[in-house]
Amino acid sequence: MKIIMLGAPGAGKGTQAKMISEKYGLPHVSTGDIFRANIKNGTELGKEAKKYMDAGQLVPDELTVKILLDRVAQDDCKNGYVLDGFPRTIPQAEVLDKALTELGDKVDYAINVDVPDENIINRMSGRRACVTCGATYHVVYAPTKVEGICDKCGSELILRDDDKPETVKNRLEVYHKQTQPLIEYYDKKGVLKEVDGTVDMNEVFNSIVSILA
């Protein structure tokens, strides 16, 4: 079972990907994690990716797909995987499909966690992070015992720059322009499934489980 998670930043697709991974025993394959692992281990693909990243450039689609295919060729992925953070654009999806077709493989499900922009802005601007231990909270959904103070280590909490409303709006604009077209792309392929991401995360997960059943 090969699953791609779709959804805007802050829609909760990463959380759902982890829950799917645990329930079905499938590796949660995050492109960010793969890049970091390749760079840390000094692989040839990692060295190549690092050149682009050090120059502040995006890693080209072909190289990203190479790194991804290298990861999903490992033994733990033989029964499938949950892809999180890739593809982000139509060209990336096309390169991935071509590579999978050559392996006699394909994507089984593209699950879109659908959340309106307004909800995402409210959700993300309520996040707080600990400056010391990195623990994360939410002023509404996961508040601390003492406002503005970390439950774990007693340090101060901050609103990270990438969670500020103006930053979130910019990220959503990029998402709608680059990534949202993937919804139509996978719909045409007959593998798209949509779930309502505005409800409790366990309800979202139950909807996904009923799709995968």
Residue of 18, 50, 164, 171 marked catalytic:
171
Q: Which residues, 6+ apart, have CB-to-CB distance to 76 below 8 Å?
A: 27
Residue 201 φ then ψ, to 5°: -60, -30
Name the CATH superfamily for 2-116+179-212: P-loop containing nucleotide triphosphate hydrolases (3.40.50.300)
Residue of 2, 66, 123, 127 marked catalytic:
127
Segment 120-172, tens digit of pLDDT: 999 899 999 999 998 999 999 899 999 999 999 999 999 998 889 998 998 89
160: annotated active-site residue: yes
177: annotated active-site residue: no
**pLDDT band per the 50, 70, 90 thresholds, residue 19:** very high
Residue of 2, 13, 66, 128 marked catalytic:
13
Segment 53-107, tens digit of pLDDT: 888 787 888 888 888 988 988 999 989 999 998 898 899 999 899 988 998 899 9
36: annotated active-site residue: no
88: annotated active-site residue: yes
Residue of 50, 160, 164, 193 marked catalytic:
160
171: annotated active-site residue: yes
HSE-CB of 85 using CA atoms within 13 angstroms: 14
Beta strands 109-114 and 28-30, pairing class = unpaired
Three-class SS of the chain? CEEEEECCCCCCHHHHHHHHHHHHCCCEEEHHHHHHHHHHCCCHHHHHHHHHHHCCCCCCHHHHHHHHHHHHCCHHHCCCEEEECCCCCHHHHHHHHHHHHHCCCCCCEEEEEECCHHHHHHHHHCEEEECCCCCEEECCCECCCCCCECCCCCCEEECCHHHCHHHHHHHHHHHHHHHCHHHHHHHHCCCEEEEECCCCHHHHHHHHHHHHC
Domain ranges of the chain: 2-116+179-212
Residue of 66, 71, 88, 123 marked catalytic:
88
